[in-house]
Amino acid sequence: MKRYLATLPLRNVLLLAAAASLTTVSPVFLIGGGVGVAIDTGQQFGVATVAVLVLIRAYRQSREVSPERRFVSKWVAISSALAAVAVSVWALPFARDIWTVVGDALVAVTVGAVMVCLARVIVGSTPRSVWLRIALDTTILLSASGTIVWVIWHGLAPTAYLNPGDLSNAVAGTLALAGPLAATLALLDRGVPVRLSGPFGILTGLVFGGISMVGFQLASQPQSGSAFMPIVTPTDYAFSAGLLLCAYGAASWKAIPSGAAQSERASQILADVLPPVAAAICVAILVLWPSDTSDAEVLKVGTGIVAVLTLGRQMLLTRNERRAIVSQRQSLARLERELRVREAVLRSLSRLEVAETAEETAAHICREALAIDGIDTSVLTGFMPNRAAVLLGATHMKEIPRGLTGVFPEERARELHDRAGTGPWIENRRPDSVAGRGGVFGPEITCVVNAPLTWKDDVLGVISLGSYGLPSESVLVERLSTAREFGVVAGALLGPMLVARARLEEIQARVVAIIENHEYQPVFQPIVELASGRTVGYEALTRFADGRRPDLWFADAAMAGLGVQLEVATMNAAQEEAEFLPSNAYLSLNVSPALATAFLPLVSTLESSTRDTVLEITEQVPVESYTKLRAALDQLRGHVRVAVDDAGAGFAGLRHILEIRPQIVKLDIALVRGVNADPARRALISSMVAFAAETDCALVAEGVETEEELATLRGLGVGYCQGYLFGRPAPIEQVLRLLGSEAAHPVRHDGSKDERAVA
């Protein structure tokens, strides 16, 4: 049985209690007298006990469900226990008048405790802006209810006498009638849906309790000089029903706003109608009540209080309505201003475009930002890889940083870089804080909004928009939005250029370090004459300390404007170490068209050389002007020979050879690789052999790696070869060791090898 009751739904428990109470009360009306009163008191005590047990169970179950339900269940359980005590006091057979007063006082405390509990929960979750209106509504309803209860209690029983028990009953009845109405207004204002469970169940129970108290007081009021005789009335059952409804409401507490339009309309209707109706009822009673009675003074006071409060409430509503109208107008004006600002910003952003340089683009962005209303100066700052900050563009500056580069002081640069990583921010600048910070704004600029320039999730700089005055909060929000939008667009426009510039500066710094620290080493690869098997020359190549491909370093250096310097440095190193090579072998140096056209750096590099030198002009780099290149090479032909490197794989093809008129043509490895198995390659090389014979130039095949390729090239008439078959590019030490072992491992004149050492 105990387990069954533990799992029985709370609703069923309360329904059983209600049925039992109704079954008990029904015959009481027929019995009457002391026996009926005793039975009636017993059923009320039983209902109060059931309510307490149900609420204890709900309190335990709501431990992890809802703290609010737990709080309400606890206080309604305490109130139900007080009601049970009050019922017990009423049943005492001795000193009845005194204990009746005590019981009535306990009932008043019970109702008050429930109302305080509800007030704490409801007011605690109600916006402060409506607290005053709720307080006025509650006071109006309490005053009106007190006046009406006085009329019902004393006016309809003029011979009744006043005692403390009657007064406590009146107070309890007033609270139980007015309190639920005020709480209903507050709950509807929050949007809590109306249903018998939850807070509205408790409020309905309080109304039933109030009806019971007023009805009991009227029914049991003794006539003047007669003895007190308690009787049983139907309102006694309202007391039990009220207890059960309060218990059910607390056990099923749920005061979550629904957001339904019906709840909002109901709240508005009740808030507009209920207090004025209460005041109108009081006025009507006062008008209809005989003025010569003692109750007339009480009615006048109560009605006057209700009227004054209602007038104050109406003035409050009028003021709130007027404020709402003013706020609406201000909101519309602010919206119109925001729309104008948005339109101006979009117009300015639509005119932004990429210029030739980052500085020109930044200046254009700053000019467009200055066209926005309220912006008096604008500055664009860019961040360098070393976290330095440089001035990219500015308009209406009063203080320009020193130095040609426009570099900010280290402290200011670090501050900008750190703040930009957190998003937009506002600087309210005081005149005494401007000096010494290295800023670009004068002391008259009192407010600056800043936004980061971002591109591909990287912060590249900051856009700063300044104004002469301190704007309002709403204007500052607009400025922040404007700065953020300009930052996004400026980042998209400047991002590629700033990233490319940063990459270029990084490459420049790295190339300079390579040159200054000699982070490279020359290597030499032999060039062999097939007819004699003799090494007739060495091509000087470069290997870098980081292991990166040489062509990539030379391409990066050329892009950074340091290509000539890197070539000269590596060429000098190659010539210094080439002094240890055999004197009858020529040295072949790779020269870009840019270095050849520059001429003077190349001449200064070659003037100290006493070795036969060949300059290899590569086809891998496009030639801007063949006229200048040919003119420069013609001045050198008496001192060096000219070769075309990578023939057949570059930009100009045969035109390159025809324009330069070289003494040596080097076939690219792409033509040589697999020539023994490719008729098309053999036909092309055969035509190049004929061309070389006709123009009196030597033909060198690069990239020879197999005996089959060598045999095919020999058969086609190629005179010279170079490749891994004859030796890999090696430092001078390895080349010299190889030269020392050639007597023991000679190369036959037919081109085959005995046991040739390969470095």
| 42 residue type, one letter | G
Show Cβ contacts of residue 686 under 8 Å, excluding neighbours closer than 6 positions.
Answer: 716, 717
| b/e per residue 192-211 (b: at least 16 CB within 10 A) | bbeeebbbbbbbbbbbbbbb
Give the orientation angle of helix 67-90 with respect to helix 33-61, to 10 degrees: 160
Read off the pLDDT of residues 314-361 as tens digits, 9 standing for 90 and up: 676 666 666 767 777 777 777 777 777 777 777 777 887 888 888 888
What CATH number does residue 659 fall under?
A: 3.20.20.450
749 assigned to some structural domain: no
Judge if 490 and 632 occupy the same domain. no
Element (H, E) at 591: strand 586-591
Show Cβ contacts of residue 324 under 8 Å, excluding neighbours closer than 6 positions.
Answer: none
Judge if 579 and 484 occupy the same domain. no
Show Cβ contacts of residue 442 under 8 Å, excluding neighbours closer than 6 positions.
Answer: 397, 398, 399, 434
Domains of the chain: total: 3
Kindly tell me if the per-residue pLDDT of 733 is higher than 70.
Answer: yes
Tokens of 514: 């390579």
| 614 residue type, one letter | V
Range of the structural domain that residue 118 is part of: 2-320
The pLDDT of residue 152: 61
Judge if 409 and 302 occupy the same domain. no
pLDDT band at 650 (very low <50, low <70, confident <90, very high): low
The pLDDT of residue 756: 33
Judge if 716 and 629 occupy the same domain. yes
Mean pLDDT of 575-602: 93
The pLDDT of residue 568: 95
Tokens of 95: 């000193």
pLDDT band at 442 (very low <50, low <70, confident <90, very high): low
Kindly tell me if the per-residue pLDDT of 146 is higher than 50.
Answer: yes
Kindly tell me if the per-residue pLDDT of 369 is higher than 80.
Answer: yes
Question: Do residues 495 and 365 touch, judged by C-beta distance below 8 A?
Answer: no
Judge if 82 and 176 occupy the same domain. yes
DSSP letter at 155 equals I
508 assigned to some structural domain: no
Rounded to an integer, what distance in angstroms lies between the CA atom of residue 297 and that of residue 358? Answer: 89
Query: Any alpha helices (H) in 191-294, and if so which ranges?
Result: 199-219, 235-251, 261-288
pLDDT band at 755 (very low <50, low <70, confident <90, very high): very low
Rounded to an integer, what distance in angstroms lies between the CA atom of residue 193 and that of residue 202? Answer: 14
Judge if 477 and 531 occupy the same domain. no
The DSSP-derived string for 324-364 is HHHHHHHHHHHHHHHHHHHHHHHHHHHT----SSHHHHHHH
Judge if 549 and 477 occupy the same domain. no
753 assigned to some structural domain: no
173 assigned to some structural domain: yes
Number of C-beta neighbours around residue 432 at 10 A = 7
23 assigned to some structural domain: yes
Read off the pLDDT of residues 395-425 as tens digits, 9 standing for 90 and up: 865 444 443 345 677 788 888 888 888 888 8
pLDDT band at 261 (very low <50, low <70, confident <90, very high): low
Phi-psi region of 228 (alpha: psi -120 to 50; beta: other; left: phi over 0): beta
Tokens of 124: 């605690």
- pTM for this model (two decimals): 0.53
Kindly tell me if the per-residue pLDDT of 523 is higher than 90.
Answer: yes
Judge if 376 and 287 occupy the same domain. no
507 assigned to some structural domain: no
116 assigned to some structural domain: yes
Judge if 236 and 377 occupy the same domain. no
Bridge partners, 537 (sequence order) = 527, 586
Domain final residue, candidates 448, 480, 495: 495
Judge if 437 and 551 occupy the same domain. no
Mean pLDDT of 132-152: 69
Cα angle for residues 447, 450, 455 (degrees, 5° grid): 170
Name the pairing type of β-strands 425-428 and 698-702.
Answer: unpaired
The pLDDT of residue 343: 75
pLDDT band at 701 (very low <50, low <70, confident <90, very high): very high
The pLDDT of residue 596: 92
The pLDDT of residue 63: 62
Q: Among the listed ranges 73-77, 414-418, 646-650, which one has the minimum average pLDDT value?
A: 646-650
Rounded to an integer, what distance in angstroms lies between the CA atom of residue 452 and that of residue 492? Answer: 12
Mean pLDDT of 640-663: 81
Rounded to an integer, what distance in angstroms lies between the CA atom of residue 38 and that of residue 93? Answer: 10
The pLDDT of residue 225: 42
Cα-Cα-Cα-Cα torsion 466, 471, 474, 477, nearest 10 degrees, comes to 20
Give the orientation angle of helix 563-578 with respect to helix 473-517, to 10 degrees: 20
The pLDDT of residue 402: 40
Judge if 363 and 437 occupy the same domain. yes
Mean pLDDT of 181-185: 72
Judge if 631 and 528 occupy the same domain. yes
Q: Is 605 helix (H, G, I), strand (E, B) or coil?
A: helix
The pLDDT of residue 44: 73
What CATH number does residue 425 fall under?
A: 3.30.450.40
Mean pLDDT of 459-474: 82
346 assigned to some structural domain: no
Name the pairing type of β-strands 447-455 and 377-383.
Answer: unpaired
The pLDDT of residue 167: 56
